């Protein structure tokens, strides 16, 4: 007679999970990173830490407060994400680690990156909180007791004030893109949040620049911070070839269509100065049969997230956006950036063209420049310390190098 126990014993062994072995990333060995996280890094396809990761990870693991200054695309998310996961106590039910980011898109992106990094860590709960999403759904997420929260300051404060979450047990606080966040007028909110964290928590800040506000927050809240700076030089510098094309305002649309008609670039980001212009350019592209979308502050948040997700997945090739909407967004494989207008701030130029040429791939950036924009352009180039290649359209409307050679041989 069979007993239930015997029945159970006779069942086949469960299939092994993760049968595919993951190569451990060699460059990350010896940094005291746990096997689970190492395997996840390998699974993400990385082998060597970037410079900011090399410098930040040991410092952060050692408990220091850090102010990390590094240009976009240098791998800051993993620089703080890896130590964050190493610190976690999975048994603990209070919120342990908090990351603040300036925009919803960025918060979502950090959340996704942390989730990938935590692929092999069972029982980890990461909540992402931002405005524009029903607060009720976020409350549900918070009820599940996440160990990690990634949030925009406004929404975080909202939850704190409603008592949905507490930060008094947080041991690691990260401000990502601190300069941008403080520029956007979040200083007060950020301070109110930091004030509620324990005084002995570790406080790590990342920023593209050392702005006055960043330094003030550091001085007020960091304890003997170590400054880590990574310059945009050589191997860190994305491989981007920059071109300037003179074009008067009424010509810009045609010039843009010419660049896209060349059918050379599969993924393109087009930057405009205003929401209205982004809308107009996108409408013109769609009218001309291009598969494009627009991303700016007038698009409802839900739609923005969806557009961003689809663009990242390569579902459509052309994105027209404003600076704020695109800030910090990491999309791989953008082949060309086109500046339809010049940005108002020098730094935005760097952020814009930094969307391409990532991860050692080669990218191109075109700037369509009216005569009156040339003064602004000079200021930008002085800031960039770079010299783009000048191109021009001839009378027949063919784009050429200065020596007369056609830019696109096939047109």
Which among ligand ADP, Mg ion, none contacts residue 230 (Cβ within 5 to 8 A by kind)?
none
Residue 74 in contact with ligand ADP, rule: CB under 6 A: yes
Q: Which stretch binds ligand ADP (CB under 6 A): 68-76, 155-163, 309-317, 380-388?
A: 68-76
Pick from 39, 55, 76, 358 the residue near Mg ion by CB under 5 A.
76
Q: Which stretch binds ligand ADP (CB under 6 A): 72-80, 95-103, 149-157, 255-263?
A: 72-80
Q: Residues binding ligand ADP: what is the number (CB under 6 A)?
A: 17
- Is 75 one of the binding residues for ligand ADP (CB under 6 A)? yes
**Are 116 and 39 contacting, i.e. CB atoms less than 8 angstroms apart?**
no
Nearer to ligand ADP, 99 or 157 (CB): 99
| CA–centroid distance for 223 within its chain | 27
Q: Tell whether residue 158 is a contact of ligand ADP (CB under 6 A).
A: no
* 347 is a site residue for ligand ADP (CB under 6 A): no
Q: Pick what 368 binds: Mg ion, ligand ADP, none; C-beta below 5 to 8 Å, kind-dependent.
A: none
Q: Does 358 bind ligand ADP (CB under 6 A)?
A: yes
Tokens of 29: 């060995």
Shortest CB 208 distance to ligand ADP, Å: 8
How far is the first Cα of the chain from the last one, in angstroms, to the nearest whole number?
A: 83
Binds ligand ADP (CB under 6 A): choice among 64, 77, 197, 339: 77
107 vs 94: CA distance, rounded Å: 21
From Mg ion, ligand ADP, none, interface partner of 375 (C-beta below 5 to 8 A by class)? none
**Which residue lies nearer to ligand ADP by CB, 174 or 260?**
174
Alpha-carbon torsion (241, 246, 248, 251), positive or negative: negative
Question: In terms of Cα–Cα distance, which of 315, 376, 382, 313 is closest to 344?
Answer: 376
Please state the closest distance from residue 101 (CB atom) to Mg ion, in A: 8
Determine, following the binding rule CB under 6 A, whether residue 46 of this chain makes contact with ligand ADP: yes
Name the residue with tokens 């975080």: 156
Structure-token match 């967004």, residue found: 329
CA atoms of 230 and 62, how far apart (whole Å) = 20
Residue carrying structure tokens 């409350």: 139
Query: Strand 172-175 relative to strand 202-207: parallel, antiparallel, unpaired?
Result: parallel
Is 121 in contact with 110 (CB distance < 8 Å)? no
Per-residue x/- marks for ligand ADP, 78-97, CB under 6 A?
Answer: x-------------------
- For residues 48 and 90, which CB has a smaller minimum distance to ligand ADP in the complex? 48
Min separation Cβ 77 and Mg ion, Å: 5
Identify whether the C-beta of residue 87 lies closer than 8 Å to the C-beta of residue 172.
Answer: yes
50 binds, among Mg ion, ligand ADP, none (CB under 5 to 8 A by kind): ligand ADP
Cα–Cα dist 328/213, whole Å: 19
Rounded CA-CA distance 264/281 in Å is: 20
Torsion of CA 59, 62, 63, 66, to 10 degrees: -10
Map tokens 């599969």 to a residue: 266
Distance CA 347, CA 237 (A): 15
To the nearest whole angstrom, how small is the minimum distance from the Cβ of residue 42 to ligand ADP? Answer: 11
Residue 73's binding partner among ligand ADP, Mg ion, none (Cβ under 5 to 8 angstroms by kind) is ligand ADP
* DSSP 8-class letter at 234: T
d(CA 265, CA 277): 22
358 binds Mg ion (CB under 5 A): no
Q: Closer to ligand ADP by CB, 82 or 281: give it.
A: 82
Q: Which of 248, 189, 279, 215 is nearest to 369 (CA)?
A: 248
Nearer to ligand ADP, 348 or 407 (CB): 348
Site map (CB under 5 A) of Mg ion, residues 32-71, x = contact? ----------------------------------------
Binding site for Mg ion (CB under 5 A): 76
Binding site for ligand ADP (CB under 6 A): 46, 48-50, 53, 70, 72-78, 330, 332, 358-359
């Amino acid at each position: 007679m069979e007993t239930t126990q015997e029945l159970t014993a006779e069942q086949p062994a469960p299939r092994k999970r993760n049968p595919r072995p993951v190569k451990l990333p060699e460059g990350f060995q010896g940094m005291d990173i746990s096997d689970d996280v190492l395997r996840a890094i390998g699974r993400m396809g990385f082998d060597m830490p970037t410079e900011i990761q090399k410098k930040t990870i040991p410092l952060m693991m050692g408990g220091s407060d850090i102010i990390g200054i590094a240009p976009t695309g240098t791998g800051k998310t993993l620089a703080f994400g890896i130590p964050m996961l190493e610190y976690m106590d999975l048994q603990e039910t209070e919120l342990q680690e908090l990351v603040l980011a300036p925009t919803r898109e960025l918060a979502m992106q950090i959340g996704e990156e942390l989730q990938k990094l935590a692929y092999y860590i069972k029982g980890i709960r990461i909540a992402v909180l931002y405005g524009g999403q029903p607060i009720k759904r976020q409350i549900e997420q918070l009820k599940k007791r996440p160990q990690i929260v990634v949030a925009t300051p406004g929404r975080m404060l909202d939850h704190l004030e409603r008592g949905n979450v507490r930060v008094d047990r947080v041991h690691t606080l990260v401000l990502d893109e601190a300069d941008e966040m403080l520029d956007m007028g979040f200083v007060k909110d950020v301070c109110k949040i930091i004030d509620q964290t324990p005084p002995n928590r570790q406080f790590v800040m990342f920023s593209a620049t050392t702005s006055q506000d960043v330094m003030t927050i550091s001085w007020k809240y960091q304890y003997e911070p170590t400054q880590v700076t990574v310059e945009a030089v050589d191997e860190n510098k994305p491989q981007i070839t920059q071109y300037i094309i003179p074009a008067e305002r009424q010509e810009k649309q045609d010039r843009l269509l010419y660049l896209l008609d060349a059918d050379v670039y599969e993924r393109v980001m087009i930057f405009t100065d205003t929401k209205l212009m982004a809308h107009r350019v996108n409408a013109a592209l769609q009218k001309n049969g291009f598969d494009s979308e627009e991303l700016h502050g007038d698009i409802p948040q839900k739609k923005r997230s969806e557009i961003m997700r689809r663009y990242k997945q390569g579902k459509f090739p052309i994105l027209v956006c404003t600076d704020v909407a695109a800030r910090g967004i990491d999309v791989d494989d953008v082949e060309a950036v086109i500046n339809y207008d010049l940005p108002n701030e020098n730094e935005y130029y760097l952020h814009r063209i930094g969307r391409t040429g990532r991860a050692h791939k080669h990218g191109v950036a075109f700037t369509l420049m009216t005569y009156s924009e040339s003064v602004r352009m000079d200021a930008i180039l002085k800031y960039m310390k770079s010299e783009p290649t000048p191109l021009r359209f001839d009378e027949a409307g063919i784009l050429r190098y200065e020596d007369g050679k056609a830019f696109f041989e096939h047109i």
